[in-house]
Structure 1
Amino acid sequence: MTTVETRPAAAVDPRRWKALAVCLTGGFMTLLDSSIVNVALPSMERGLGADAADVSWVVSGYALTFGLALVPAGRFGDMRGRRTAFLLGLALFTLSSAACGLAPGAGWLVLYRLVQGAASGLVASQTTGLIQQLFQGAERARAFGMLGSVVGISTALGPPAGGLLIQAFGVEDGWRWVFYVNLPIGVAAFCAALRLLPRTPVSPGGRESMDLPGVLLLGAAVLALMLPLVQEQQWTGREKWALMPLAALLLVAFWAWERHQGRRGRAPLVDLALFSLRSFSLGVLLNLVYFAGFTAVFFVYTLFLQNGLGYGALAAGLSSLPFAVGSAVGAAMGGRLVVRHGRRLVIVGLAAVAVGLLAVVVAVRAVPGQGAALAAALPLLVAGVGSGVSISPNTTLTLTRVPVRRAGAAGGVMVTAQRIGSAAGIAVVGAVYFAHLANHGSPTTALQLGLLTAIGIILIALCLAVADLRERRLHPEPEQPGAPVRQG
């Protein structure tokens, strides 16, 4: 069960679907860049003479600045107009992609990747806000379904796309084309965005000022939380975990400051009243937990195929395509069905992901050696459909009651939860995988234990969704003034 909104016909932007295509193109490009570089890391080591610490920061630096930028960037779009923020982010991402490809040394590449990650966060946070702004009701659900397809496809297509580019342009310079490929897409998307995205800023936010202390407190908290997670394999000592209690203290300080801002009548970075909406608070939590399990699967699976079975970069990347196809199909289905079925659809999707991944565990044991990827293809397809059916409906349900003028910051919170969950999941599942590999040396068993850990995390998300559905049946969330009418 979810909500459907209506608006006067005059308020509907006739170019909204074309504008959505532009947003999804920008989102696809930036999300793809978070995974496409993984198979290019050996090429960077060879072509640039980069060491393990350098290539680690190529990946983790992007994730860090991406996560740090999301909420402030979303708030900036709410205040100054999402078209302006999107164009700025897209231009910065395209220019930093060119700089990455031209980088003369590893240090410069890391620096440009930090800028690229921040630009990616600026683009991503505007996409959810623009969907909230341009669409309502069943159309909004369809739009979020398309966004869910983009999330799933971009995550899964990164490895095969990177493998194809390395194969086409060689090991020495192939990594540069991982970045150059963004240039024609970025320029075309920028030109289309100039013509198609709505010019009107979201009022009255344009008269508000940015909550700089809030930005600093939240940024420091996210940094302290994510840094030990994304550097879990590189920082071998236990001292890194001391940042976790520091992150908790900073989050408490951020919460107190935002309440203080609200009492003074000033616009906070994040409207804490959003967390009083059960649909929003639970959706953010589900995002965090599910992405902790879902993203880690590709991390250990690609390592298993390349390091354990001797697959090449292209073959290992292509092995994730069944999940991408299933995710695209599932997200499109979810966008159409969420209006009718609501949270029940998320439950079905999460259950399908768990079953599909459990079947992968069985498949790699039953078909050892080079045939493992083929045996796991159908289970990955099932898991992909379940993932698509989970992500896009959960996004719709999470943001359905969020006021449009706060949609950018709310979307930033939601995607930040995804990034933190992804980093935490990779750290936990990766630790299980590497620990077994170091102690016992069996790649197949290490993969199975890693996948079982990921399944356990996904089952936690499933329990949260089931508990929420039961709670909704016992205590329906009251309608708010002006809220859309519920449909069964």
Structure 2
Amino acid sequence: MTTVQAQKTEPLADERRWKALAVCLTAGFMTLLDTSIVNVAVPSMERGLHADAADLSWVVSGYALTYGLCLVPAGRLADLRGSRQVFLTGVALFTLTSAACGLAPTGGWLVVFRLLQGVAGGLIAPQTSALIMQLFQGSERARAFAAFGSVVAVSTAVGPLAGGVLIEVFGSWRWVFYLNLPIGLVVFATALRLLPRIAPRGNAGEGFDVPGVLLLGCGAFALMLPVVQEQAWPGRGKWALVPVAAVLLVAFWAWERRQGRLGRGPLLDLGLFSLRSFSLGSLLSLVYFAGFTSVYFIYSLYLQNSLGYSALAAGTAAMPFAVGSAAAALAGGRLVVRYGRGLVVIGLLAVALGVLGALAAVRLVPGPEAGWAAALPLLVAGVGSGLTVSPNTTLTLAGVPVRRAGAAGGVLQTGQRIGSAAGIAVVGSVYFAHLSNHGRAADALRLGFVTALVFVLVALVLAVADLRGPSTSG
């Protein structure tokens, strides 16, 4: 069984490290909230800016695209320059671009500022896992990753609810972005005071691998673009980018191997993938995020478009999942040290049970009361998610050298973003295709749930495979 191993280096004796972690988690919450809070504001943007469908699609998906593209380079940059510097730069840029998004005069300008906002979010995200790897070890590290897992779960789930509240209170979509201004200013000021000045983790003399960044960026862009634009770009021509992506990513892999052999400091240390738990855990994270984010996506569409729920009501209906996930993630941080990957297996079983329960609830109560009927199954699924995300993060990064923590965290979160985009594209296609051909929303939702459940079960197989494998030696 895979267990959490203590790093050989001693943690920094900094009494402020939990406060520093809270600062990073707040910034992470802000950036992840923006992946979903915008969804409920799209109709208001369309009316207020007279934006066309292409602009609106890029407002939603462009952020996820640039966010995901920047994660690995930002993690590597932090390994070379220090997490504090990259984090402060990201927070400052995110705050400025949020203000620019709120002030955007046209749909085109909003797309530009939204893409830049995604870049800023990608700069911030890997620094949290890197900070945890640097400042904590053993059971404290597991607790820190538990808090991180709670933030991931809650921010994703409460985004539409927060967006609905802001639009209801202020009457404008612009406040979806203005919300980030006070948060960003407070985070920047407190980060200046609390984040430790730790020497960069990379080896002296290592440079930044620009060709590696270009190959990975272009490859990931070609892979993610048809996925995030699946609904906006009709036809099959867009999938021609997938083999292009494969060629670029193979070239990236070959280039990184060459950089490693020559000792020139690769963007991504391919030796990380020789760690069984890192490889399986990263793949598990990708597949699981494809499942659980797509469940919420189609469920929200069903409640609003088919049952007449408001954005606020639909967000409220999903709260049991967020509450269960946040509470279980905190408990998972304590339990993962004792139970290892077995805890993730239990979590994934609970998610599968919860999705099946929600599917049954919608079938038995197909009308407006479906939100109430699915509340308990969603709570069960949320508890399972909390026992999956943060423990898996802890176990996946347990054997990673601290000097590669930024890049490793970037890989893990890149997989989460690609998984989310791919899951929404696949499950969304199943949902919309059945709705278009047969017009029965409840049946379309059930087929979508079954498709999402397949992703969850694949993640379960990966967790069992790691459970049955040799222990990570740390």
TM-score by length of 1: 0.95
Contact kept? 1:81, 1:206, Cα under 8 Å: no
Partners of 2:46 and 2:204 in 1: CA distance = 46
Q: How does 1:266-285 map to 2 (within 5 A)?
A: 266-285=264-283
- Counterpart of 1:343 in structure 2 is 341
- Per the TM alignment, residue 226 of structure 1 is displaced from its structure 2 partner at its CA by 0.3
1:223-282 Cα deviation digits (max 9, x unpaired): 011000000011101011111111111111000000110111100000000000001111
User: Structure 1 166/246 Cα, relative in aligned 2: closer, same or farther at 3 Å?
Assistant: same
User: Structure 1 238/204 Cα, relative in aligned 2: closer, same or farther at 3 Å?
Assistant: closer
Q: How does 1:366-445 map to 2 (within 5 A)?
A: 366-445=364-443
Query: Residue 3 of structure 2 aligns to which amino acid in structure 1?
Result: T
Partners of 1:46 and 1:206 in 2: CA distance = 54
Query: Residue 158 of structure 1 aligns to which amino acid in structure 2?
Result: G
Partners of 2:335 and 2:108 in 1: CA distance = 48
Partners of 1:98 and 1:70 in 2: CA distance = 22
1:309-333 Cα deviation digits (max 9, x unpaired): 1111111111111110001011001
Q: Are residue 98 (structure 1) and residue 93 (structure 2) matched?
A: no
**What stretches of structure 1 of length at least 5 have no aligned partner?**
484-488
Contact kept? 2:11, 2:135, Cα under 8 Å: no
Partners of 1:95 and 1:450 in 2: CA distance = 38
**What stretches of structure 2 of length at least 5 have no aligned partner?**
none
- Counterpart of 1:39 in structure 2 is 40
Contact kept? 1:78, 1:206, Cα under 8 Å: no
- Per the TM alignment, residue 12 of structure 1 is displaced from its structure 2 partner at its CA by 2.2
TM-score by length of 2: 0.98
Partners of 1:393 and 1:245 in 2: CA distance = 34
Query: Residue 235 of structure 1 aligns to which amino acid in structure 2?
Result: W
Partners of 1:108 and 1:90 in 2: CA distance = 21
Partners of 1:8 and 1:45 in 2: CA distance = 53
Q: How does 1:229-378 map to 2 (within 5 A)?
A: 229-378=227-376
Partners of 1:11 and 1:283 in 2: CA distance = 27
1:76-113 Cα deviation digits (max 9, x unpaired): 11100100000000000000000000001100000000
Number of residue pairs aligned between Structure 1 and Structure 2: 473
Q: Are residue 164 (structure 1) and residue 162 (structure 2) matched?
A: no
**Percentage of pairs with the same residue:** 69
- Per the TM alignment, residue 4 of structure 1 is displaced from its structure 2 partner at its CA by 3.6
Contact kept? 1:80, 1:206, Cα under 8 Å: no
Query: Residue 75 of structure 1 aligns to which amino acid in structure 2?
Result: R
User: Structure 1 210/371 Cα, relative in aligned 2: closer, same or farther at 3 Å?
Assistant: same
Partners of 1:51 and 1:289 in 2: CA distance = 32
Contact kept? 2:91, 2:120, Cα under 8 Å: yes
Partners of 2:27 and 2:199 in 1: CA distance = 20
Contact kept? 1:221, 1:250, Cα under 8 Å: yes
Partners of 2:287 and 2:157 in 1: CA distance = 19
Query: Residue 48 of structure 1 aligns to which amino acid in structure 2?
Result: L
- Per the TM alignment, residue 205 of structure 1 is displaced from its structure 2 partner at its CA by 4.0
211, 214, 225: which one aligns with 1:213: 211
- Counterpart of 1:30 in structure 2 is 31
- Per the TM alignment, residue 380 of structure 1 is displaced from its structure 2 partner at its CA by 0.5
Query: Residue 52 of structure 1 aligns to which amino acid in structure 2?
Result: A
**DSSP 3-state at the match of 1:25:** helix
User: Structure 1 13/206 Cα, relative in aligned 2: closer, same or farther at 3 Å?
Assistant: farther
- Per the TM alignment, residue 11 of structure 1 is displaced from its structure 2 partner at its CA by 3.1
Q: Are residue 455 (structure 1) and residue 443 (structure 2) matched?
A: no
Partners of 1:206 and 1:259 in 2: CA distance = 20
Contact kept? 2:346, 2:384, Cα under 8 Å: yes
- Per the TM alignment, residue 432 of structure 1 is displaced from its structure 2 partner at its CA by 0.5
- Per the TM alignment, residue 209 of structure 1 is displaced from its structure 2 partner at its CA by 1.3
Partners of 2:60 and 2:129 in 1: CA distance = 24
1:319-369 Cα deviation digits (max 9, x unpaired): 111110001011001111000000000000001001001100000111121
- Counterpart of 2:88 in structure 1 is 87
Q: How does 1:66-81 map to 2 (within 5 A)?
A: 66-81=67-82
